[in-house]
Structures are given as C-alpha cells and as structure tokens.
Chains A and B, each alone.
Chain A
Amino acid sequence: MREPTSAILTLDGLSVRLPSGADRPHALSGVSLSIAANEILCVVGESGSGKSIMANAIMQLLPGGVTIDGGRVMFEGRDLAAATGVEMRRVRGAGIAMIFQEPMTALNPLLTIGDQIGEMFSIHTDLSSAAIRARVLALLEDVRIPDPKGAARAYPHELSGGQRQRAMIAMALALDPRLLIADEPTTALDVTTQAQILTLIRDLQKRKKTAVLFITHDFGVVAEIADRVAVMQHGSIVEQGDAASVLHDPQHSYTRQLMAAVPPLTSPPPRKLSDDTILTIDNISKTYRTGGFLGRGARVTPAVKNVSLKLPRGATLGIVGESGSGKSTLARCIVRLIDPDTGSIILEGKDWATMSRHDVRAETRRIQMVFQDPFASLNPRRKAADLVAQGPIVHGTPPAKAIAGAKELFELVGLDPSASDRFPHEFSGGQRQRIGLARALALRPQVLVADEAVSALDVSVQAQVLKLLAGLRQRLGLSIIFITHDLRVAAQICDLVAVMKDGEVVEQGLAGDVFDRPQHPYTRALLDSIPGGDAARRSKAALPPSD
C-alpha cells in the first residue's frame, strides 16, 4: 500500500521490546500513526505509557537492552528502524530534529549557545564560519530570544530556562528539518514561560511548515497546540483523531478518564472558615548570602521578603507562584529546615522562628511536611513501616506500638497494610506519596505543610491524592499550607490563596475571589497562561460528572 503523499512520518505496527524483568514485555506494541507535513500531532499519555520510548525509537536513540522488534518507521521512503548508524546520523538534525524536556541537561555546559547551534551547520553543511555566524543570529532572532547577539555568546547556565528552551528550538530548526519531535518541551518551565514557548512553536511551525510530533502529559497543552491527538496507554494508541473531536467527544474510556482528572480552574464553593487562627506568619524574611570574603563580592539573594500570612484552623492556604518566587523557602522556614532572618511564626502561642534547635526537635510533631519528590523523599534503605514509624519512635513511642500505628496509617492513606514491610522502590509514585503523607501524619500534626506534594504525579494519581488530602483534612481537623506552581491544583483544594512573586506576596484572599477576580496584574498573567484554560473550563462543563 502506498502511503498518502502528505504523510512525512509513518509508524507502521511499531513494537519496542523491553529487557526481561521490566514491568511489561513491550514498551510499545503495534503502534501505528502518521504525521503529515504542516501539522502538529500531540501524543498524550501518563508516565510509563511509552510515549518517550516512541520518540527515541524513531530517532534510534533507545537505551541499551531496549530494541525495536517489529514494525516499520517510514520517513521519506526509508525504514528508519532498519537504517544503519551512518544513515541515521544524516537523518538526525537534518531530517528529524528533537527538543527535550530539560534544556539545561540537553545543552553542553562548556560551549556557548552560538557555538552549539553553529555545530549543526559545520557538521551537516560546508558553510564558511562567517556564514554560520549569520545563520545562527538569524535563528536566534527567529525564536525571539532577547538580545540574540548576547545570547549567542552566552553559556547555557547564563540563560533562563525559557531562553534555553528557545535556544534548543533554534538548534533543532537550524537545518529546516521536515519533522520536529518535541518531548515534553515545556514541562520543566513555568506556566507563563510555557505559554510563550507554545506560541513560539505554533508560529514557527506555521511559517516553516514543519511537521511536529509533540509529546506531553498535559491535556491543557494539547488543547493549546494540537491539530491531531493520539492518546497512549501501556504502549498502545487507544484513540486518535482531530484535536477538536478528541477533546470534546472522547470515545475511549481511558481518554475520558484522563480528561476528567485534569483539574478545572473553577474552585469548589467556599467552605466556612474558622475565626480561630492556628498559625500566624508575620513579616518573615530570608536572604541568602553566598561567597565573598569579609563581605566583599558576596552575592545577596533575598528569597522571601516580609511575608505575613494567617492560617485559620482547619483551612487550606495555598501559596502559588513560579519557580524562584520563594514559596519553597517560605515552606522550609515554616518547618524550620531554614532559619528565617527576621519575623515571627506563631503556632499555639510559641514563636517558631526564634525557637532553639532543641525546642524545634521537641515541638516538630505539631507541624509536619510532605515533600515534592516521592522518589527522593523516602530513604531507599528503610522499609515503608519503619519510615512511617520513625517519627513516633523518635518522640518516645515504643517501637512495637509505633509499627502498629504505622499499619493503621497505611489504611488511612489508602495503602494495603500488608505492604508495609516493603522498600520504597517497590511502590509506585502515587503510593510513595501516600507513604510520605502517612509519615507526616504519624506525629498527629496540627499543621501540614505540603510542598508541591502532587506536582510530580500523573494527573489521575494527582486527583486521587488531592481527594485523599481533602478527606484527611476533614477527618483529622488538619490545617494545611499547600504550596504549588499549578493554579489548577490550587483551585481544587485551597480555601485561601496567596500569590508570590520575587519573594513577596502580591495578592491574597479567598480562592474563589483570587481566581475569578484577580486584582494584581501578575495573578492575571498567571491565570491567562494556564494552557488550555478556556478549553478546560468548557470541556469540563460538557463532561459527565466523574466519580
């Protein structure tokens, strides 16, 4: 059968085999899809669905032990699955280019941006170095990097995340490839930067008529950018079609489930808040000083500037902001992992900000923290039950009783108590986050500080953990400080919201008020940048209520 002339890349029954001992025998099984010129195909799926393996299989960049064991990758009349290393080198960069999730690790830290983009030309063409320089500048102007001349001379660490991703895009588009593979290119970026990069990719694609294979886990991004959508689950495409039809009329149950898990930007009706304040943060400041000898040449970074907040008993206070806004520093000041420079944090009549280390250790059971990364926040060499029981044991509970208590907590956070003698690596990301939650709850805290507690999780798992958190708040009478960069998540769970920018709180109030009637221009910019914000609201309304 002849492929339609418009298709640039056709995957035909592509299967990729995983080494024995993996969670399933095939990373991809029988994936067929095609991308036409001048269109953006979004491949959506949760982590582990095989979407990145697919991108790497197309480029023949599979890790060792992972092999293509069936199907074809047709690109310009050639089967890339059977291409030799020499042939592939000619295709990579010139025929198919790729951009990655984390531009900092994808760029060589020892070369300037200009040199790295120039490399594309010196490898694939025989232009003179002056011509290469001119082309590099033109490219950097194309991706609308501020001060292209300066950027060409800069090293990767001297640029911001968004600028680095622009440089990556410039490099990928240097040789006018027919196909651009973008593997989660905006996932590591702040929401406002993400919106800019998405617009940029869309514009460049229109102008250069490149085909784009865009891999993402975020339905908001899909709504923003896709012409067509393919939904992936466990290594197979379960649904594909036009963006509009898939987004508004999903056929497969998995697609529906994924879309239902995307939190809408409308907050639930406000709950009645207690007049009783449990935690009062007053004028907290923290400044980092690094380097310098006797105060000379030191770098001073004010991370948190005069923040004052009040947490009513039983309420959830969301602190939202982009990376570098100081929200994590603030959280760490509240649990005294970091000592604030000035200000007071009053909990139950005691000032946490100035308490001695010894007193903090004793009082720490009143205020506990849940961490962002479910993989890094659990000691890999302790069993789950030990992890949860550790806190009570330190505070004087007999070990046997603490372990029994840990098993009860397992039930409370929705884990099987019989799994409590397993090690953390035997649990999934969502389960690990539940262990982290159980560990924090083991000390029966009054205040829980959750630092990006659901940010590393897939949407469907995220929804479950948020539901669990809301349920526990009710049952245990917890007061929660919920720190997140994701406004959609904040809208779901928070009663009150404080928006932070550059270490300051620029706006705070009831969640409904802040999201529906933002006062500060920065809050408005944040809300406008949410990918697929309008689409999510509309489609949410059209969806049947999920359980």
Chain B
Amino acid sequence: MDAVKRYCRNPAAVTGLVLLLIVVAMAISASWIFPREPLALAGRPLIWPFSNPRFPLGTDNSGRDIAAQIFHGARISLLIGGVATVIAIAIGVLIGAFAGFYGGWIDNVLMRITEAFQTLPNFVLLLVLVAVFGSTLTTVTIAVGVVSWPAPARLTRAEFLSLRNREFVQAARTLGLRDIQLIVGEILPNALPPVIVYASVVMAVAILLESALAFLHLSDPNVASWGNLIGLGRDVLRVQWYVSAIPGIAILVTVLAVSLVGQGLNDALNPRLRGR
C-alpha cells in the first residue's frame, strides 16, 4: 500500500496513468462511438481535420474515417503491446529464473541462446519471422513477443543470481523445500519488481515494433492499426501530412504514457533509488 501512495505522489507517473487510461477508454468505447467498420469507405478522401463535423479528424486517402481508425487502432496497439509483453516476460522469466537459480552449465547454455537472440537486431528478426509465418494479427503479436524476451531474461537471471544465496533462501532450503518451490515461492516474488518495471519498456517497444511493421506494409492489413494508417499516409505525406501525423501522435502519447507509468512504478517499488 505504501507503493500505491508513493505512486500517487509522483505527478509524472499520475500523468502517465491518466494518458494510458484515456487510450484504454478509447479502445473500450470504439464500438459505441464508431459502430461502423473503421476500414469501410465513409466519405470523400483526404478531408482535412476539423473541416467536416462528420469526420472530426478528417479522412485518409481512401476516404476512411481517421477518428474511427484511431479509436479502433487503440485496441490493436494495446492488444499487441499487452499480449506480446506477456509472452516476452513469460519466456524471459522462465529462462532467466532457471539460468540464475541453477547456474553452471544450464546457465551457460541458456545464456548462449539468449545472446544468439540478442546479437540479431530485433527488427530484422521480426521481419524474418513475419516473412516466414505470414502477417496475420496473431503471428505478428507472437513474433513481437518472441523477439523481445532476451532483456527480461537477463534481468531475471541477475536478480536470481543475487537472491539465490540470500539467507532466507537457504533457510527455506533447510526447511526441506523443493527447488521449484524455492524458485516460485521464495525467490520469484522478490525478483519480480524490476521485471514488472521493465515490462513497461517491453510494451512500449512492442507497440513501436508493430507500427514499424505496418509502416512497411508488413503488418496485418485487415485490421485498423495506427501503423497501417501511418503507412497509408506515407503516399500523401508532403501535402496531407495529417494522415500520418495523427496516428503518430497517438503512438507517441501511448508510448509516453506506458514509459511514465513504468518509471513511476520503478520509483514506487524501489523508493530508495529515487533522488539519484
């Protein structure tokens, strides 16, 4: 409860949370406010924002409502960000926990695998995965998760390395706990706070990765996503720049919100590190 109090005292963190809640609210309300299919043609193409009350944010070069795409796109971005983060953290914690707890050759093997993933640039690996497995929403989400796990794995491993020889773990071992009980029940709860904080970074990067894919027309074209809209706006960037700029701002706000929340969590969970 102290952590909640500390979080609420941090104005940047509260701002981030409010922004994030607005994005979530957009995602939830999309079907009510814009009940029509967002990718359906709605009117004349390339209407400027604020010039037609029917299309408050204008239309894109195919005549689709930008506001509807932004609202529905919030769902896709949050979905990809959330699910990919869960996948990345799950793989990372699993590998990091085993490597850190057992050490020795298990650690060596797992860390070499992690390094193999780390040496490949994230985005290149993502392109390969999407090229091989196709670009439906599911494969893109899984692919983003699969390229993001090495950093959480290293972080978890470092936490486990420092925690596994603490006296409370030794004490639990003398009580007769099994290794898996030690890992899950004793060490993991103490190792999680930095990993949770890092999850916000993974989420922000996941949203950006999906946008980048969409910008290259490699994401799922059948869903309304912010990245797709930016990619579409690329063709008319010099005159109708708003087609790319509006979803760009949406991505900026979301990533900023997630980062602020992550920073706020960090300060709230590790109060002693603040003030540096």
Question: Which A residues form the contact surface with B (CB < 8 A)?
Answer: 64, 332, 335, 337, 360-362, 364-365, 368-369, 371-373, 376-381, 390-391, 394-395, 436, 439, 443
How many angstroms between the C-alpha atoms of A436 and B189 in the bound complex? 20
Q: Other than A369-B171, A371-B171, A378-B171, give 10 A-B pairs with Cβ distance below 8 A.
A: A337-B174, A361-B177, A371-B170, A377-B167, A381-B189, A381-B190, A391-B175, A394-B175, A439-B175, A443-B175
Q: Which residues of B are found within 8 Å of A379, using beta-carbon distances?
A: 168, 172, 186, 189-190
* A337 CA / B165 CA spacing, docked (Å): 10
| Chain A residues in 8 Å Cβ range of B36 | none
Contact of A377 among B171, B181, B189 (CB under 8 A): B171
Expressed in whole angstroms, the minimum distance between the Cβ of B112 and any Cβ of chain A is 17
Are A394 and B167 closer than 8 Å at their CB atoms? Answer: no
* Across-interface contacts of A378 in B (CB, < 8 A): 168, 171
> Which single residue of chain A is at the shortest CB-CB distance from B178?
A361
Chain B residues closer than 8 Å to A380, beta-carbon distance: 168, 190
Q: Are B175 and A390 in contact (CB under 8 A)?
A: yes
Q: A369's closest neighbor in chain B, by CB?
A: B174
**Interface size range on B against A:** 10 to 19
* CB-based nearest B residue for A376: B167
- Assess whether B173 is interfacial by the CB under 8 Å rule: yes
CB-CB under 8 A from B173, the residues of chain A are 337
0 or 1 for each of B182-194: is its CB under 8 Å from A? (1 = yes): 0000100110000
16 chain-A/chain-B pairs, Cβ below 8 angstroms: A360-B176, A361-B176, A361-B178, A364-B174, A368-B175, A371-B170, A372-B167, A376-B166, A377-B170, A377-B171, A379-B172, A379-B190, A381-B189, A390-B172, A394-B176, A394-B177
Residue of B nearest to A337 (CB): B170
> Contact partner of A368 among B166, B174, B178, B190, CB < 8 A?
B174
Tell me the B residues contacting A by CB distance below 8 Å. Answer: 166-168, 170-178, 181, 186, 189-190, 275
Interface centre among B168, B170, B172, B189 (most CB of A within 10 A): B168
Whether A371 contacts B167 in the complex (CB less than 8 A), given A379-B186, A379-B190, A381-B190, comes out as yes
Docked CA distance A360–B175 (Å): 10
Known: A361-B176, A377-B167. A394 touches B189 (CB 8 A): no
Least CB distance, A449 to chain B, in whole angstroms: 9
Closest to A367 in B: B174
Whole-angstrom CA separation of A427 from B70 in the bound complex? 52
> Are A362 and B166 in touch, CB under 8 angstroms?
no
User: Whole-angstrom distance from the CB of B101 to the nearest CB of chain A?
Assistant: 15
Q: How far is the CA of A436 from the CA of B175 in the complex (A)?
A: 12
Residues of B with C-beta under 8 A to A395: 176
In the assembled complex, the CB of A226 is this many whole angstroms from the nearest CB of chain B, namely: 35
Q: Give complex CA distance A361, B175 in Å.
A: 8
Q: Kindly report which residue of chain A lies nearest to residue B188, judged by CB atoms.
A: A381
Minimum C-beta distance from B29 to chain A (A): 38
Q: State A337–B167 Cα separation when bound (angstroms).
A: 11
Chain A residues near B167: list those with CB within 8 A: 371-373, 376-377
A369 to B176, CA, bound (A): 12
With both chains docked as a complex, state the minimum distance between the C-beta of B193 and any C-beta of chain A, in angstroms.
Answer: 10
Residues of A within 8 A of B190 (CB): 379-381
Partner of B176, one of A364, A372, A381, A439: A364
Give Cα distance in the complex from A80 to B92, angstroms: 53
Please, which residues of chain B bring their CB within 8 A of the CB of A390?
172, 175, 177
B103 to chain A, nearest CB (A): 13
Most chain B CB within a 10 A radius of its CB, from A64, A362, A381:
A381
What is the minimal beta-carbon distance from A108 to any residue of chain B, in angstroms? 19
Please measure, in the bound complex, the distance between the C-alpha atom of A378 and the C-alpha atom of B190, giving whole angstroms: 12
Docked pose: A299 CA to B117 CA in angstroms: 34
List, in ascending order, chain A residues with CB within 8 A of B181's CB. 394
Cα–Cα, bound, A379→B167 (Å)? 9
Task: Please report the C-alpha to C-alpha distance between residue A405 and residue B216 in the assembled complex, in whole angstroms.
Answer: 64
| B residues less than 8 Å from A381 (CB atoms) | 189-190
- Nearest 4 CB-CB pairings of A with B: A377-B167, A391-B175, A364-B176, A376-B167
Measured CB to CB, the closest approach of chain A to B183, in angstroms, equals 13
Q: A377 contacts B174, CB within 8 Å? A: no
A391–B275 touching, CB < 8 Å: no
Contact A365:B176 (CB < 8 A) given known A371-B167, A379-B190, A394-B181: yes
CB distance from B259 to the nearest CB of A (A): 26
Decide yes or no: A362 and B176 within 8 Å by CB, A376-B166, A379-B186 being known contacts.
yes
Please name the residue on chain B nearest to A368 by beta carbon: B174
Q: Which residue of B lies closest to A332 (CB)?
A: B170
Closest B residue by C-beta to A442? B175
Q: Which residues of B contact A360 (CB under 8 A)?
A: 176
Which residues in A have their C-beta under 8 angstroms from that of B186? Answer: 379
A368: chain B residues within 8 A (beta carbon): 174-175
Contacts of B174 in A (CB 8 A): 335, 337, 364, 368-369
The residue among A335, A390, A395, A436 with the most chain B CB atoms within 10 A of its own CB is A390
- A377: B residues at CB distance < 8 A: 167-168, 170-171
Looking at the assembled complex, report how far the CB atom of B147 sits from the nearest CB atom of chain A, in whole angstroms. 32
User: Cα distance A362–B178 when bound, in Å?
Assistant: 10
Residues of B within 8 A of A365 (CB): 176
**A364 CA to B171 CA, complexed, in Å:** 11
A364–B170 contact, CB under 8 A? Answer: no
Residue of B nearest to A336 (CB): B174
Q: Looking at B171, B176, B189, which has the most chain A CB atoms within 10 Å of its CB?
A: B171
Chain B hits for A372, CB < 8 A: 167
Contact B175 A64 (CB under 8 A): no
A373 to B181, CA, bound (A): 23
Identity of the chain B residue whose Cβ is nearest the Cβ of A65 in the assembled complex: B275
Q: Which residue of the partner chain B has the closest CB to A377?
A: B167
| A439 close to B171 (CB less than 8 A) | yes
CB proximity of B98 to chain A, nearest CB, Å: 17
Find chain B residues with CB under 8 A from A439 CB.
171, 175
Chain B residues contacting A436 (CB-CB under 8 Å) are 171
Docked complex Cα distance between A443 and B175 (Å)? 8
A439 to B186, CA, bound (A): 15
In the complex, the chain A residue whose C-beta lies closest to that of B190 is A381
In the bound assembly, the distance between CA atoms of A373 and B175 in angstroms comes to: 17
